Structure 1
């Protein structure tokens, strides 16, 4: 992969600040006090037990595989959402190597606004995939303390990516062409390849796996689930 040029900190900070109002998954804290945060890599190595336990309590789930899947999906959304927005709206890739997680929740923080410029004629999909999947989601999957099928976890990653694209498109329809092109490239990259397909321009996705949310006591099948019927009301997994 061709090395990327460093982006000015102010550019990265401005891009992340513009992303934040799009929703809670787009909010990435930058700077501020160090108290209350820990390196996200430590959380991955431990299997993100606080996130899994919080999901289990919130959805009254006894089968921890379900809780681990939903927790991983939510974390994937918190990674993809700001990264995808910054890429298509500003041509910037935030540097997530120093990413931290709140000690008491799912929120994420960058100690400083570091990042790189994404060349329009370069492998943007490869750069985003490496930043999110290779550097984060692969490590999270390796650390989980319960067995969850890789196809399910990377189906979750693709689902979270498409939902991020949908939210961006709703807020910034002017980004459609670039966003659609980058999304398609990402869904053909690495472990995201063959996880599902985009079935309509919203964009709507139909995955080849299931996140297991429908097995929670009050759960239902999600709109992109391989098991869902077209007339079923989609679930809210948050």
Structure 2
């Protein structure tokens, strides 16, 4: 697989480009190590600090709601830059060594690396799925609060579809490859059966619910399996 490796410079340039699409697309690279820790440590701790931050922000009384919202936000921060780098730059990010900010949900790759899509034997969907979902699986394994596995899978699918919609809005010329890749991903592994794309603008309807509506000021998201109609998305 050595021949498939993208240079650190090309990965850094791709990430710099996609970061301009919005906050969830930002994945920092390089810089000082101070203020960052391996995201694996956060997984082992059940993302407890971010779940507690959700509880304070939304005044929730159910730990599973806090965990679900924190996991949904993390899924969005994984899928957004990873999807955009494949579609816009032909690079599957290598998320080994991923780090998280000590004081929040921001993510960082201290050593940017990736694989060129056109040199992968099994295509970009499989490689991208593996890179992102192994992080979400590690997070799920470390949770200290019981949350339905298919709810977490639905959050992952919702984050993917949300990233695809946002990317389409910014780069409409990428509609064809973006739609193909998103459709394939939503039919892959644990994402299969979580919901369906419902329109050419990549709107999505999931079969589960992230539980945001259970917060005091919460509501059902636009793609919620419990919603009769779109009412806006939960903050991530």
CA contact (8 A) 2:212 2:234 kept: no
4+ aligned runs moved over 3 Å, structure 1 = none
Counterparts of 2:117 and 2:3 in 1: how far apart (Å)? 7
CA contact (8 A) 2:37 2:102 kept: yes
Work out whether 1:191 is the aligned partner of 2:163. Answer: no
CA contact (8 A) 1:219 1:235 kept: no
RMSD of Structure 2 on Structure 1 (CA):
1.3
Residue 170 of structure 2: aligned partner: 171
Residue 152 of structure 1: aligned partner: 151
CA contact (8 A) 2:93 2:128 kept: no
Once the two structures are TM-superposed, the CA of residue 4 in structure 1 deviates from its matched residue by 6.8
Change (3 A) 1:124 1:148: same
Q: TM-score, normalised by structure 2?
A: 0.96
Residue 56 of structure 1: aligned partner: 55
- Where structure 1 has 5 or more consecutive residues not aligned to the other structure, the ranges are none
Counterparts of 2:37 and 2:122 in 1: how far apart (Å)? 33
Once the two structures are TM-superposed, the CA of residue 151 in structure 1 deviates from its matched residue by 0.5
Residue 16 of structure 1: aligned partner: 15
Counterparts of 1:233 and 1:224 in 2: how far apart (Å)? 9
Counterparts of 1:192 and 1:164 in 2: how far apart (Å)? 15
Residue 203 of structure 1: aligned partner: 202
CA contact (8 A) 2:19 2:25 kept: yes
Pick from 198, 222, 234: which aligns with 2:232? 234
Counterparts of 1:29 and 1:4 in 2: how far apart (Å)? 25
Once the two structures are TM-superposed, the CA of residue 171 in structure 1 deviates from its matched residue by 0.6
Equivalent residue pairs, number = 235
Residue 4 of structure 2: aligned partner: 5
Q: TM-score, normalised by structure 1?
A: 0.96
CA shift digits 1:46-103 (9 cap, x unpaired): 1011111111111001101000000000000000000000000011012111100001
Once the two structures are TM-superposed, the CA of residue 233 in structure 1 deviates from its matched residue by 2.2
Residue 126 of structure 1: aligned partner: 126
Q: What is the DSSP-based 3-state SS (H/G/I as helix, E as strand, rest coil) of the residue aligned with 2:60?
A: coil
Counterparts of 1:236 and 1:184 in 2: how far apart (Å)? 23
